[in-house]
Chain A
């Protein structure tokens, strides 16, 4: 079976890249001739357009010359409107810089006031991810400064690199991918490191979120955001409705998988997206995704029944189902003054494999099986131009995982305090003000019952500023 993989891959690529040979053979000289004719017409039209433009410019110059001497007696020209100047657009002058890619830099930072110590933050009942959980540190924080460089590489590929320079002076490559632009029949292939297309929020960069932080279900099940090192193929159906199918294969380096010393693929995903409009004011998207990730010794810190710090590790398979839905409404589809956005996602994850207890000490290993779920629903409403208010509710259901070491009587269940059954929840409100298309200030308040014991009251004030190239955003 393993030998089939390269064969199947070859079929996919061959099918994508080969032209339709049969059809080409039947095309005759007449088609070529008419194409030549059309080309000729195109060039004639371009020459005519240029001639017309020259005439227009000449007449404009003549009018300007006529008007200028006589313009003085009336009211002076208002300074509010600069006259068009016949200069070349800036940045288009030299060939050395003409091919510079689009560069943008996003500045983000916040002030956090948290009623609980963020060092003790943990979503109760779940194996914690190595990072991506919790509201971050207290007081002023420099969040990531996100540098994006993007451009078409050639007629076949588009390239994009997004590097997040973190407040702690480290640099994360968030995304560095190429994407095909020359394939037809609705196919797109992406490769490199990219945010997985599973779920709705996963592909969206943090500066474009409606809240400061990710929903709890993203923090717990995907470590905030799942970035794949791998390849993705998408196919868009040739229909008026939006129907997209896709598959991903990755190394599994990012949570819930782990880096493994293995040639096989360890993070595979399948997804389907549907979308359309209702009238001219409402548009929607629905999605379903499936993620299968392999972990080898995925470690997490915990304490035992006596309160001693130790490290446990999971080895096995993690499967996540995700259902997502997004709806946007704006009067006549124009979000300038009012827009309403409703989105929700449900995830269900099952993990099965081995759980090692106290890997650096007693190192006991037994079976582990869990079936856990979580969801969020959030809404954001632009109630007046540039002002939005938002509400989000998070809920998680840990269930009670089956732990072999406990069943065998080797350890009491209190030896795994992080895995004690819990139903964490959180309610968040938000208001933000966009001074322009490129700057946004936000205040957010959350009642966070993620810890089993005490409520964390979180106030976050955030700025998001975008410099450079005007970005285009996904739905």
Chain B
């Protein structure tokens, strides 16, 4: 019996010690992707301390609920996630194991970006025979600057809610960001005009928002179904199909394996364009502005 009492007493002591932790200076933010990390930095400046769970070289859908991420969830004041089931394989574990009620869904400390914007490719029926489709729609929403503007507005307000002492600061930075973003958006639209109507082949369906924004046409996808790698037979079929009406380019993200895209490029004589996809995916994509600048530069370069 003595042993059981010791265990409980030890736990009681630990919990008493933890009750008196000091308040943190900066708002601790756990962002699921480098893009959300960059956006929080734009809006929060030095009032936030951002930790980004993934890099541009990771498929955010296939991430392990690593111990380091659980530790970050424990201390986070705000989680910024994409939502629409993109992080479904790991975020629930982080939230549940965090022992942190501030970041549970429904709390001010849990922010999802995708539900704020109009999602493309919302399936009218879902079945796993269709591959790993997302019932709520395509979650890869970042590559349309109009979406970023909408999400930034809501995120600035959320930062103000979580850290009300600095509400005015976030409001001012939010306005400043919107102004700069609007100007940049006009610049991108003008420069990207020649891309309208250009036919492209993608690997996964994560360029849907980019194509929708710039008016490019997704002719085909190297994955026959979302999340399903192509078979040799499917690739051969694709070559035949594309030989008749070849695309101008094949788009590949920094995190994609280059082999399938290179293989196809040799056969249909279209260039592979490496796109950063996320902040940090290329050396030029240092922040969100760089991400779009570099994406458009690379697309235009391939058009020549």
Q: Mark B7-37, 1 if CB is under 8 A from A, else 0.
A: 1111110111011010000000000000000
Q: Are B126 and A90 in contact (CB under 8 A)?
A: yes
Closest residue to B10 on the A side, CB-wise?
A247
* Count of chain A to chain B residue pairs whose CB atoms are closer than 8 Å in the complex: 277
B229 within 8 A of A: yes
- For the complex, give the distance between the alpha carbons of A474 and B14 in Å: 25
Interface residues in B117-173 by Cβ distance below 8 A to A read 117-126, 128, 131-132, 135-137, 146, 149-150, 153-154, 156-158, 160-161, 164-165, 167, 171
* CB–CB A84/B120 < 8 A: yes
Size category, A interface: 35 or more
Within the complex, the shortest CB–CB distance from A131 to chain B, in Å, comes to 28
| Contact assessment for A45 and B165 in the assembled complex, using a CB-CB cutoff below 8 Å | no
Contact B128 A438 (CB under 8 A): yes
For residue B95, which residues in chain A have a CB less than 8 angstroms away from its CB?
181
A187 at the interface (CB under 8 A from B): yes
Q: Is the CB of A333 within 8 A of B98?
A: no
CB <8 Å contact, A56 and B57: no
Cβ-based interface call for A119 (8 A):
no
Question: Nearest Cβ distance between residue B96 and chain A, in whole angstroms?
Answer: 6
A242-B67, A275-B67, A334-B255 given; A437·B227 CB < 8 A: yes
Complex formed: what's the CA distance from A46 to B160 in Å?
A: 13
Chain B residues within an 8 Å CB radius of A331: 57
Q: Are A182 and B101 in contact (CB under 8 A)?
A: yes
> Which of A36-44, A138-146, A442-450 contacts its partner?
A36-44
Of chain A, the residue at the smallest CB distance from B219 is: A78
Q: Which residues of chain B are within 8 angstroms of A96 by Cβ–Cβ distance?
A: none
Is the Cβ of A181 less than 8 Å from the Cβ of B96?
yes
- Residues of A contacting B: mostly: mixed
- In the complex, what residues of A have CB within 8 A of residue B165's CB? 31, 34
Cβ of A301 < 8 Å from any Cβ of B?
no
Tell me if A333 and B63 are in contact (CB < 8 A). yes
A42 touches B14 (CB 8 A): no
Q: Could you tell me the distance in whole angstroms from the C-beta of A40 to the nearest C-beta in chain B?
A: 9
Whether the pair B4, A188 counts as a contact (CB closer than 8 A) is: no
- A49-85: which residues lie under 8 A (CB-CB) from chain B? 49, 52-53, 56-57, 60, 75, 78, 80-82, 84-85
**For residue B63, which residues in chain A have a CB less than 8 angstroms away from its CB?**
333
B123: chain A residues at CB < 8 Å are 82, 85, 90
Cβ of B93 under 8 Å from chain A: yes
Q: Name the residue on A nearest B73 (C-beta).
A: A236
Minimal beta-carbon separation of B254 from chain A (angstroms): 9
Q: Which of A31, A38, A84, A470 contacts B85 (CB 8 A)?
A: A470
A471 — which chain B residues lie within 8 A by C-beta?
A: 89
Within A224-252, the residues touching B (CB, 8 Å) are 233-243, 245, 247, 249
Interchain CB contact (< 8 A) of B65 among A48, A80, A332, A475: A475
Q: Does B252 make an interface contact (CB < 8 A)? A: no
- From known contacts A242-B68, A275-B66, infer whether A236 and B55 are also in contact, taking CB-CB under 8 Å: no
Cβ distance B258 to chain A, nearest Cβ, rounded Å: 11
The answer to the question of B1 belonging to the interface, with a C-beta cut-off of 8 Å to chain A, is yes
The smallest C-beta distance from A436 to any residue of chain B, in angstroms, reads 6
B71 within 8 A of A: yes
Asked whether A238 and B75 contact (CB < 8 A) given A15-B12, A34-B167, A89-B122, the answer is yes
Evaluate contact between A437 and B132: CB separation under 8 angstroms: yes
CB–CB A155/B106 < 8 A: yes
- Give bound CA distance, A87 to B123, whole Å: 8
Instruction: Give the distance to chain A from B125, nearest Cβ to Cβ, in Å.
Output: 7
Contact B11 A472 (CB under 8 A): no
Closest Cβ neighbor of B162 among chain A residues: A38
Per-position contact with A for B45-85: 1 when CB-CB < 8 Å, else 0? 00000000011011100111111101110110000000001
Contact A183–B71 (Cβ < 8 Å): no
Do residues A42 and B161 form an inter-chain contact, with CB atoms below 8 A?
A: yes
B303 at the interface (CB under 8 A from A): no
For A277, the closest partner residue in chain B by CB is: B68
Interface residues of B (CB under 8 A from A): 1-5, 7-12, 14-16, 18-19, 21, 54-55, 57-59, 62-68, 70-72, 74-75, 85, 88-93, 95-102, 104, 106, 116-126, 128, 131-132, 135-137, 146, 149-150, 153-154, 156-158, 160-161, 164-165, 167, 171, 205, 218-221, 227-229, 245, 255, 257
Seed contacts A78-B220, A185-B21; 18 additional CB < 8 Å A-B pairs: A12-B12, A37-B164, A82-B123, A183-B101, A185-B19, A235-B99, A242-B70, A275-B70, A280-B57, A283-B67, A283-B68, A284-B67, A436-B131, A471-B89, A472-B88, A472-B89, A473-B89, A474-B65
